[in-house]
Structure 1
Amino acid sequence: MTKGKVYLVGAGPGDPKLITVRGLEAIQKADVIVYDRLASPRLLKHRKPEAELIFVGKLPDKHMLKQEEINQLLVDLAFQGKVVTRLKGGDPSVFGRVGEEAELLADNEVTYEIIPGITSSIAVPAYAGIPVTHRDFTSSVAIVTGHEYPNKTYSSLDWEHLAKAIGTMVFLMGVANLEQISRELIRCGKPPQMPVALVRWGTWTEQATITGTLEDIAEKVKQANFQSPAVIIVGEVVKLREKLAWIEKKPLFGRRVLVTRARSQASELVDLIDELGGEAVEFPVIRLQPPSRPEAQLALDEALDKLQTFDWILLTSVNGVEFFFSRLLEKRIDVRRMGNARIAAVGPKTAEALAERGILADVLPARYQGEGILEAIQTELKPDQKVLLPTADLAREYLPSKLKELGLQVTEVDVYENVLALEEGEEVVSLLQNQGIHIITFTSSSTVTNLFEALRQLGVEDPLALLQGVEIACIGPKTAETVRQFGLPITYMAEEATVASLAESLSLHRK
């Protein structure tokens, strides 16, 4: 069998967007991904569906596999003809032991690549507002391991040189030895009042920073029970933190937000949450698909076959537009057959989706619900006019019933349906159980009902109890009404029924 190939990839310090383009490509092409705890799990979502995952993470007091076993594992997988991506936190060449892994691969004539990553020694201080160099303070920086092999001691470090010749010192993996590090630096000439900062889980949602001096930092860390993993920064540049702590000023800093809408719709909200400094966790409890019931399929196709007979076509969502036009294309129906109808769109995003297909909506109501579209067109409606209403299988009955009361002939068809989805649910349940989700966003009533049902199917006996203490954000009053029916209080309410307005409501509240 032909040998495979191994990519030794730096995943960056934690924020999944800090991986390199080359590193992301290695994840996407891998047959097997061997990863540790300092690589963001969100990166794994970019893998091929059939890719195998092997966790070899290391905790301060526990190793899943010894380093020698990891080295051999990479060789064994390559000998099986696999494309292997070894995903390591930070940069694999900075105390990542990539040299040992690469050596064994080379000894066994396995093809490999080392793909650098953004090292936590630079990125983590930057996320805490501490540049490791600054022309007013220092032009030199040293990256030092704070943890040595058991058979070595700190005497192997040239403490006097570090203390006298280096401006900024960054210690990795050194929380347990902080007292010794401080003592040695003071002994070798660093002033006791030299500023020090520790940044825990830098670039992650859990990022936290504690500052002090060489004289008092060890006691402060002990009193605060400040645990690893943390980066230690020693130097005058720490003084810049108060002025430059940029990410902590973002409104959603330190907040993890659950996005429940369908994956095909989620990107805009995910990006907005990211811009606000939060971490978006996608749990698309809804999967959108064409109607599966034969009678719904038949009704839709019959309506499309007589498209030229309708006086009005009312499109109430972006999804409705996408599935409507997709079916037109599948049936080879020319959109010019809509020429006799006036077209109304609920909301600017729906109108934008129409415009992308070369159609400008005749009516765009001020309110983005069924009530709004009815108000906008009611004076122009005439009895016996024919209205086509392409919607979802769970659409509200308000609009079609009101149109019928006005004497119109309403053809309501399902162009898509909402299906319960459970992918990535186990991760979400774990986060909820550990109070790792701070806000849940709901963008429709079906996202509410599907979340509760998904949690039940994932083994949660009392979903309401699990969600206690989590803040709830709603896109509109109808969604909010469903949330209240399930017994949850509402913390954030969008002023308009748009994703942008929902994100804005989140930004107005600081924790």
Structure 2
Amino acid sequence: MNTGKVYIVGAGPGDAGLITVKGEECLKHADVILYDRLVNPLLLEKAEENAERIYCGKLPDRHHLRQETIQELMIEKAKQGLYVVRLKGGDPGVFGRSGEETAALEETGIDYEIIPGISSGIAAPHYAGIPLTHRELSGSFAAITGHRSLDNSGASPDWNALVRAVDTLVFYMGVKNLPIIAEKLKEHGKPSHTPVMLIEWGTTGRQRVIEGTLSDICTKADNEQVQNPAITLVGDVCSLRSEPSWFEKKPLYSRYVWVVKTSMPPSRVGEMLQENGAEVHEAPRFAAVPSASLLPDNIQLYDSLSFLEADSVPVFFEALRKQKIDIRSLPEKIYAGTKRTQKKLEGYGIFPFLEKAPEQEYSLLIGTKESLPVRANHPVWISHRLHVNENTRKTTARLVKDDMINTIVLPCAKAVDTLLCELDGIGVSAVEWTNNRTVICYGPQTAQRAQAEGINVYSTLEKPKQEELLKSVASLG
């Protein structure tokens, strides 16, 4: 068996869009992903469904997997000939212990690559509106670990050098040791009025910025109950912040939206929400499993074909190809049940009627089992069934249990049933969970269906347009 390879990938600082192109490609090809706590769970959605996901999450005071165990797992999986991705928050080489991991790989002769990531110490200040360097205020910066022992009892930075030689100081995970950091900097000559900024959950919708000075930042941090992950920025560049920052000015900043899906393709709605500052989870994720039943050989004998949903269209044409049925034998009349189905057919050079087939026509109905009528007056062909990605369900469960989602979008009445099913699967009451979250429905039918299940609806969009959804979510502030 050939030995596999390990890719140590920087996941970036929190915003899922900040992973590198090469890092994303590694995720798409991964057989195994070993990921840390601070990795955005949405990044795991970029991997194939059958990729094994192993949580190596760590908290500052509690370790889920020991570092040695993680290294042993990487080596074990690579020796099985697998494509292994070690996914780490930020950049692997900035307090990410990549040096220990590469040493272990070198020792065992495992091939590896390192794919750098954007470090939170650089990205979080940008998202707070602050550059680390500035022509007039800062010509240097230093990255310092903030969560190991910083007093005289253990390994400690050269405080004198930091104060005398560096303009901007960036402490990683320094909330617990903030009193020591402030005291040591003042003790070695930093003025007590030096600007300080704490950036909690930088680059995400939960980002908070606490401003102060070396003399009062500890009190402010206590009052605001700041917790890790957080970056502590010390230096005159902190005075450049204009409140709010470019990121915090986005209309959907702080919104984490779950768009409940009932079909396969990603929606343009999700893209629009992200562009306007929201974090977006589109779930469940589906894959089409083609039907085992064959298309009728005498398809030319039907008066017409009726496509009930868009996802059936490519499956139908693939079935034509496999069964070697000439497209010229199709009936002249073709109907589309929705506008999206109409557009999908047009992509194949077919321009259908946007309506139902007349009852008197001998029409073949084409769709999934769920979309086809229970008692059809026409013959039917089940094109495929929708397979739900179980790993996406795990992502949903984590987002729900970590209390990250604050807004739910229900695009159709069927999405209400999907929401109930997904929440029930993770042991959560839909009525209780949605009670303190914002639910937005497309159209009165969807709203009525949600309300019938005891779900409080914040807003009902009369027109299912992106602009209306944006306006509704933005009004939440």
The TM-score normalised by the length of structure 2 is: 0.85
User: SS of the counterpart of 2:311?
Assistant: helix
**What amino acid sits opposite 1:444 in the alignment?**
C
Segments of structure 1 that go 5 or more residues without pairing to the other structure are: 364-372, 375-380, 402-409
User: Shift of the alpha carbon at 1:340?
Assistant: 4.3
1:130 match: 130
Work out the CA distance in 2 between the residues paired with 1:3 and 1:359.
Answer: 49
Does residue 483 of the first structure (1) align with residue 450 of the second (2)? Answer: yes
Does residue 497 of the first structure (1) align with residue 427 of the second (2)? Answer: no
1:370 match: none
**What amino acid sits opposite 2:450 in the alignment?**
V
RMSD: 3.6
Task: Give the 5 Å matches for 1:94-493.
Answer: 94-148=94-148, 156-242=156-242, 245-262=245-262, 264-284=264-284, 301=296, 304-307=299-302, 309-310=303-304, 317-319=309-311, 321-336=313-328, 340-341=332-333, 346-347=338-339, 349-360=340-351, 390=366, 393-395=369-371, 411=378, 413=380, 416=383, 421=388, 423=390, 424-460=392-428, 462-493=429-460
User: SS of the counterpart of 1:34?
Assistant: strand
Task: Give the 5 Å matches for 1:45-64.
Answer: 45-64=45-64
User: SS of the counterpart of 1:209?
Assistant: strand
- Tell me, yes or no, if the aligned pair for 1:303 and 1:411 is still in contact at 8 Å: no
Work out the CA distance in 1 between the residues paired with 2:344 and 2:241.
Answer: 44
Structure 1 residues 465 and 69: alpha-carbon distance in aligned structure 2, compared to 1, 3 A threshold: closer
Structure 1 residues 142 and 433: alpha-carbon distance in aligned structure 2, compared to 1, 3 A threshold: closer
**What amino acid sits opposite 2:333 in the alignment?**
A
User: Shift of the alpha carbon at 1:283?
Assistant: 2.4
Whose radius of gyration is greater, 1 or 2? 1
Work out the CA distance in 2 between the residues paired with 1:160 and 1:181.
Answer: 12
Structure 1 residues 2 and 473: alpha-carbon distance in aligned structure 2, compared to 1, 3 A threshold: same
Work out the CA distance in 2 between the residues paired with 1:70 and 1:195.
Answer: 39
Work out the CA distance in 1 between the residues paired with 2:319 and 2:275.
Answer: 35
Segments of structure 2 that go 5 or more residues without pairing to the other structure are: none
User: Shift of the alpha carbon at 1:432?
Assistant: 3.0
User: Shift of the alpha carbon at 1:155?
Assistant: 7.9
Structure 1 residues 351 and 137: alpha-carbon distance in aligned structure 2, compared to 1, 3 A threshold: farther
- Tell me, yes or no, if the aligned pair for 1:260 and 1:442 is still in contact at 8 Å: yes
Work out the CA distance in 2 between the residues paired with 1:162 and 1:30.
Answer: 41
**What amino acid sits opposite 1:341 in the alignment?**
K
Work out the CA distance in 2 between the residues paired with 1:77 and 1:415.
Answer: 40
User: Shift of the alpha carbon at 1:76?
Assistant: 4.3
Work out the CA distance in 2 between the residues paired with 1:305 and 1:285.
Answer: 35
Structure 1 residues 426 and 229: alpha-carbon distance in aligned structure 2, compared to 1, 3 A threshold: same
User: SS of the counterpart of 2:210?
Assistant: strand
**What amino acid sits opposite 2:420 in the alignment?**
F
- Tell me, yes or no, if the aligned pair for 2:35 and 2:87 is still in contact at 8 Å: yes
1:75-100 per-residue CA deviation (whole Å, 9 max, x = no partner) reads 44444444432221111111112112
Work out the CA distance in 1 between the residues paired with 2:231 and 2:31.
Answer: 33
User: Shift of the alpha carbon at 1:345?
Assistant: 6.8
- Tell me, yes or no, if the aligned pair for 1:141 and 1:168 is still in contact at 8 Å: yes
- Tell me, yes or no, if the aligned pair for 1:272 and 1:503 is still in contact at 8 Å: no
**What amino acid sits opposite 2:257 in the alignment?**
V
Structure 1 residues 237 and 335: alpha-carbon distance in aligned structure 2, compared to 1, 3 A threshold: farther
Structure 1 residues 196 and 20: alpha-carbon distance in aligned structure 2, compared to 1, 3 A threshold: same
The TM-score normalised by the length of structure 1 is: 0.80
Work out the CA distance in 2 between the residues paired with 1:35 and 1:464.
Answer: 32
Structure 1 residues 46 and 272: alpha-carbon distance in aligned structure 2, compared to 1, 3 A threshold: same
Q: Which moved more, 1:218-227 or 1:321-330?
A: 321-330
1:360-412 per-residue CA deviation (whole Å, 9 max, x = no partner) reads 4566xxxxxxxxx69xxxxxx99967777655545598xx99xxxxxxxx847
1:437-481 per-residue CA deviation (whole Å, 9 max, x = no partner) reads 212222222221133234334444x43233322222222333223
User: SS of the counterpart of 2:268?
Assistant: helix
User: Shift of the alpha carbon at 1:140?
Assistant: 1.7
The count of aligned residue pairs is 475
Instruction: Work out the percentage of aligned pairs sharing the same amino acid.
Output: 37
- Tell me, yes or no, if the aligned pair for 1:320 and 1:391 is still in contact at 8 Å: yes
1:400-432 per-residue CA deviation (whole Å, 9 max, x = no partner) reads 99xxxxxxxx84746556658472334434533
